[in-house]
Chains A and B, each alone.
Chain A
Amino acid sequence: MWQIWLLPVLVVGITIALSVPLGIYMASVLDERWRAPALRRWFERRVDTGPQDWKQYAVALLLWNVLTFIVGFLILQFQAFLPLNPDGKGLLSPTTVFNTLCSFLSNTNLQHYSGEVHLTYFSQLFLICWKQFHSPAIGLAALVAIVRGLRGDAHLGNFYVDLWRATFYIILPAALVVGVLLLAGGMPMTLEGNAQVTTLETGALGTDDAGQAKPQEIARGPVAAIVAIKQLGTNGGGYFGPNSTHPYENPNGWTNLLEAVCIILFPMAAVVMFGRMLNNFRHAAVIFGVMLLFMVALLGWGVYWDTLQPNPGLAAQPERRFEVADSTAPGGKIALTLPAVAALPVDQSLGNLEGKELRFGTSAGPTWAALTTCTSNGSVNCMHDSLNPLAGLTPLVGMWLNCNFGGVGVGLINFLIYLVIAVFLAGLMVGRTPEYLGKKVEAREMKLAMLAFLIHPLMVLAPTGLFTATDWGAKSTNNPAAHGFAEVLYEFSSASANNGSGFEGLADTYGFNDNPSPAPFAPHWDIACGLVMIFSRFVPIIAPLAIAGSLAAKNRVPFTTGTLRTDTLTFGFVLFGTIVLLGALTFLPAAVGGPLAAPQGPPPLGGE
């Protein structure tokens, strides 16, 4: 019984311990407290374009992203003609290219393709892997710039220098260490093509046209390099389609623990860095505490409903009666009887084992599911679609809030939006016009904060509504009823949260351009998700940058006993309440239609 909690406790405990020194190191690197050796400084001077205000910083950030989008497009669109294509992979469909580029540009790593099937080694290494280093570094740079603004610095720093430092002094070394550890754990790292294995049973994989028994093709490649940064950079885009359930992407229990720690390591360290940069560890501790509380609660909820409860689709159910109003029926009501269901002869004492990688233990699936969605990672080590319906709330809520550690850099930025709103309301309640870190929060800041806040529910709910109302969604789901709705909802939640995990079960892959039978509405999904990812990535970065810029220019109000303190338990409660009431409640109706409705209904509709 207690063993199922061992993995979550180990993961969270180890990461907290590691995040403190890492966060302090990150602050010293990005805050120029640490001087790089002369050679590196030479490089820094090459990229440094001088101090930037928020507008210049934002323009540099956007410009850089546009540039990488173009380069990425050239790589992906013409991968068939580029080197490192030993398996002769062909041209991708334009919408797949668009979606993939948006996805990796925005640190989402939503995959409407399957890496080992559709991408060449060149694309994997020079697009996927590159973007996976790049996008968290950009998030970190944006956070650092915002902190400088909150601190009241004269300028927000230089985007290119921040990007350089975050990439080369922080993320790259960490990925190197993790990559080596993963290699030691048995992960492949090769540029050779698929391994061909003669199956024991001749012809197990069929025969070719010449009547010869086909050998088994085992996909492989530079896995360790990609998985290290996939986990560290809240990327989640796996080398293989099955992501970290694949034995080459997650060989054993140790790599599972290591990969799980890597999911939350940088997001946690970012909060420590925030405290260090502001020289206000108490304030950072309150933020850290609230984030941790949400993450632990979601993790606990997931493990409880999945590992400690049986799979309702396999469990016995008594007969249940419901009444449904129907004006056409006699008496205005239809009596609905759900027949009793006998339990399948399955031992469910270990909880819901469907869709789990049992190599990692029974609780590894929901634990990972909570971590990967609280941060915007999106890698998976179990099938989220197979989580018990109520446990399925964990990944959804994690993505709806999208700030409880969140993506590298951007998670804390999202949290700061909630914080600004909380400060605005709580600040009024102490009888002053609101202020944060000694700066008055006024109409301009609130306008920007609300814009950043609004974009997430808009980007989740509007397309979900659109796809549910049309065939685009209804004809793409694998499951009927509430569960099918949950699949659509999950897809857009994942895209908007820049998470990238999939509930799976959606037909959204077009793949190669010459695919004779693509999913019918794959282009719709590709384009809609692509746009959602871009908007949900950049609006919540640019608006807070503008807030930071406008706060930086304000006079600092001295601290008095009448000032709202942001480093107390009370303020922690305010933050908690704000996130619950504004973040969670916004999505309650959607939750009711999906994951909450599913478990209660009759098996064909609910259950599994």
Chain B
Amino acid sequence: MGKQSIAETIASRSAPEVQQLKLTRRESRRAGLFAPEMLRAALHQSVVMLRPDIQWKNPVMFVVEVGTVLTLVFTVARLLGHFPQTSLGYLIALSVLLLLTVLFANFATALAEARGKAQADTLRKTRRETPAFLLADDGQIEETVSTALRNGDRVVVEAGQVIPSDGEIIEGVASVDESAITGESAPVIREAGGDHSGVTGGTRVLSDRIVVRITAAAGETFLDKMIRLVEGAIRQRTPNEIALSLVLSAFTLIFLIVTAALWPMAAYAEVYMQGYLGTAEPVRGLGTDIPTLVALLVCLIPTTIGALLAAIGIAGMDRALRANILAKSGKAVEVAGDVDTLLLDKTGTITVGNRKATQFIPLGHYTAQELGTLAAMASHADLTPEGKSIVELYAKQAGVSVSRVEGLLPAGARFVEFTAQTRMSGVDAADGREVRKGAPDAVLKHVQQRNGQLPAGVQQQVDAVASRGATPLLVSDCGSLAGLIVLEDVLKPGMRERFERLRRMGLRTVMVTGDNPLTAKAIASQAGVDDYIAQATPEAKLAYIRKEQASGKLVAMMGDGTNDAPALAQADVGVAMNSGTQAAKEAGNMVDLDSDPTKLIEVVEIGKQLLMTRGALTTFSIANDLAKYFAIIPALFAATLPWLKPLDVMHLHSATSAILSAVIFNAIIIPLLIPIALKGVQYRPVGADALLRRNLLIWGLGGVVVPFIGIKLIDMALVALQLV
């Protein structure tokens, strides 16, 4: 399969489609985190999700829901005159706050889902409506749109028109530009009958007229299937998510034990305090008040991460979507964070597409100036990228514009085209002067045939150029050697830094190229990649991936051709370019709609961000408990063991205000952290240790400190508003 630069790929897509795609995506991006219609949908969904059978799937929040119901029961009982030790207002406030906690959690999940859906919808819109010309049985042609087509419909497509959907040619022959799907810019011939009768929706007929029987109704095409897969994947839990929710459930269970064991302790304290005080009435504290213990439980269990866990996972998929990557499963995104080895194609990823002339090396009595002129003359009619680059180099060195190169040519010059036999191209002047450039051995033979002088050391110079990864061309002028043109792969700017960054992330980069080992090695060391596969065949790639995996590494690669399919399937993260073949796309676990080979790096970062966000918010959630303990525990015993007051380090206003403040903090931290859950914690390629220190400082230490401040502020606000 041909390797293409991004520019070519984009250019090969039909221009209006790309334009529309970009526009709609930009719009959806601009809509930001909280687009109104999305908020409305999410709000509605968060109430729907209160259904116990849905809530059950999130054990942490289910416990909160059960606690809410329990608190409501006690509130009603208080309304009827039972349990006089707590005020009705307090119980109502508690019920509302607990309900809000559940709703906030549901909202976070619903919002993330709504965003994911919106992204998928946007993608689906890019399957643009094209006109279709339906062929009726009576031979009449009726104009309709592609989305209205059904399986079995016959349509007529003429030159310049877009094939409306996947189908099979039943009549005619046509050359079809399939670049939108395959990335190959060369048109292919498709004809009725035989192996080449299949056509894909979205491709363009370049010549002739065909009749196509539609085999995939609207919404059933490959991309549609992919989008559906993405939407389905949003609901699936990934292995790490399952492990984490297990941990969270266990924490919930532990805190359930802690809270339940508090009741007899507090009851015991009440009994002995009554004895001590000698009161007739039993001494009552909040420690034996069930709704208060529910509040303590809700504060202690990891509700923050429990509420945001699903949202984080969905947001990971969503971030991939925003980067124009369709991940077939959330697991693929998660695995991307663990990737150890990246297989990158040289062309288009590490180097800018084609080789360029970078240097003229004169031989014998020729000067560099003369050599440049000769090279430019010989390349004037050569429209290959290499040829153009020679002219450009000359123009740059001579300080003239490219258009003036034509003036160099002697009158009546005749161009000699490159052929596979001669492996040279050049120009013949009317006076018989022959200027040639070409492969070293071909030019040498050419010179020898004309009994020209071979300056000493030509072969050494040719070898020297080749060994540094460049391609040497020789230039001859009337049977004598004028010098060498050095063609080199040009590294994309910033690649060295990029690979350095990847190395700090702990990733090994491997360059895959069809070049010979010498060239490959030179480019690899220039670019700073860790390893290379030279003269890469699909089998070599597959073997390399297997070798890496055998040593426990996870491998990510990008590919486009049918023969890449086995390697894509073998790789732990296989990103198929959308421009690639169907086989490749089905083999990989992600599809990159931009067909941008550097996307792999982004994919890895998205995976890492996803995992980091989970870890950071879990740490934050657990670290929060310290402050909550110090707010609630003294409040529980305020009425029974007043000498525990020194534990109330935050000096909260009263027992009930302390508990309400803690519950309010616990609830509002969820919506406050939704943006972080959706955007993800920022990933920095600084190495695991520095990253850990940074996250520990922010989320660990921050998690300890923030609630102390937050709870105190809420308490002050409650007092200021005279709510307590």
Contact = CB atoms under 8 A, between A and B. Distances in A.
Interface of A: 320, 322-329, 334, 336, 421, 424-433, 438, 441-443, 445-447, 450-451, 453-454, 457-458, 461-462, 464-466, 468-469, 474, 480-482, 484-485, 555-558, 560-565, 568, 570-571, 573-574, 577, 581-582, 585-590, 592-593, 596-597, 600-602, 604-606
B74 to A, nearest CB: 17
B279 A562 contact: no
Of residues B265, B634, B693, which shows the largest number of chain A Cβ atoms within 10 Å of its Cβ? B265
Given A485-B265, A585-B625, A428 B615 contact: yes
A592 B644 contact: yes
A574 B622 CA distance: 13
A565 B689 CA distance: 7
B264 A606 contact: no
B239 interface: yes
Of residues B281, B338, B625, B634, which shows the largest number of chain A Cβ atoms within 10 Å of its Cβ? B338
B611 A428 contact: yes
Given A447-B246, A469-B267, A585 B85 contact: no
Contact of B246 (A430, A432, A443, A596): A443
Contacts of A585: 625-626, 629
Contact of A592 (B263, B272, B607, B633): B633
Contact of A469 (B268, B281, B283, B551): B268
Interface of B: 84-85, 239-240, 242-244, 246-247, 250-251, 253-255, 257-269, 271-273, 276-277, 279-281, 283-285, 334-335, 337-338, 340, 503-508, 551-553, 607-609, 611-612, 614-616, 618-619, 622-623, 625-626, 629, 633-634, 636-647, 655, 683, 687-689, 691-693, 695-696, 699-700
Contacts of B700: 577
Contacts of B243: 424, 441-443, 445-446
A450 B505 contact: no
Contacts of B273: 324, 605
A471 to B, nearest CB: 12
Nearest to B605: A431
Contacts of B552: 438, 555-558
Contacts of A431: 337, 607-609, 611-612, 683, 691
Contacts of B691: 429-431
Given A461-B257, A465-B264, A561-B506, A426 B615 contact: yes
Contacts of B609: 431
A561 B688 contact: yes
Contacts of B619: 425, 429
A324 B683 contact: no
B503 A561 contact: yes
B415 to A, nearest CB: 54
Nearest to A460: B261
B622 A465 contact: no
A482 B269 CA distance: 7
A358 B335 CA distance: 63
Nearest to B632: A589
Of residues A431, A474, A562, A601, which shows the largest number of chain B Cβ atoms within 10 Å of its Cβ? A431
A585 B616 CA distance: 20
B81 to A, nearest CB: 14
A327 B85 contact: yes
Contacts of A323: 642
B692 A574 contact: yes
Of residues B634, B642, B643, which shows the largest number of chain A Cβ atoms within 10 Å of its Cβ? B643
B688 A465 contact: no
B253 A424 contact: no
B261 A426 contact: no
Contacts of A453: 250, 254
Contact of B258 (A429, A443, A589): A589
A296 to B, nearest CB: 22
Nearest to B622: A581
Nearest to B300: A585
Nearest to B684: A431
Nearest to B260: A465
A322 B643 contact: yes
B252 to A, nearest CB: 10
B618 A425 contact: yes
A428 B614 contact: yes
B687 A562 contact: yes
A511 to B, nearest CB: 28
A327 B261 contact: no
A555 B643 CA distance: 56
Contacts of A421: 247
Given A442-B240, A586-B255, A597-B641, 12 more contacts: A322-B643, A325-B285, A325-B655, A426-B692, A432-B338, A433-B611, A446-B247, A450-B251, A474-B271, A560-B508, A570-B689, A592-B633
B276 A604 contact: yes
Contacts of B611: 428, 431-433
Contacts of B259: 589
Contact of A588 (B85, B279, B505, B633): B633
Given A462-B257, A465-B265, A562-B687, A432 B337 contact: yes
Contact of B272 (A568, A582, A605): A605
A49 B174 CA distance: 76
A480 B272 contact: yes
Contacts of B84: 327
A453 B622 CA distance: 16
A465 B247 contact: no
A468 B608 contact: no
B640 to A, nearest CB: 7
A588 B683 CA distance: 35
Contacts of B279: 326, 328-329, 334
A465 B638 CA distance: 20
Contact of A443 (B85, B242, B696): B242
Contacts of B244: 424, 428, 446
14 contacts: A326-B639, A428-B614, A430-B695, A438-B552, A442-B240, A446-B244, A457-B254, A461-B257, A481-B272, A560-B506, A564-B692, A593-B262, A597-B269, A601-B643
B612 A428 contact: yes
A561 B505 contact: yes
B250 A581 contact: no
B638 A325 contact: yes
Contact of A429 (B247, B281, B636, B695): B695
B643 A600 contact: yes
Contacts of B626: 581, 585
B281 A468 contact: no
B689 to A, nearest CB: 6
A430 B268 contact: no
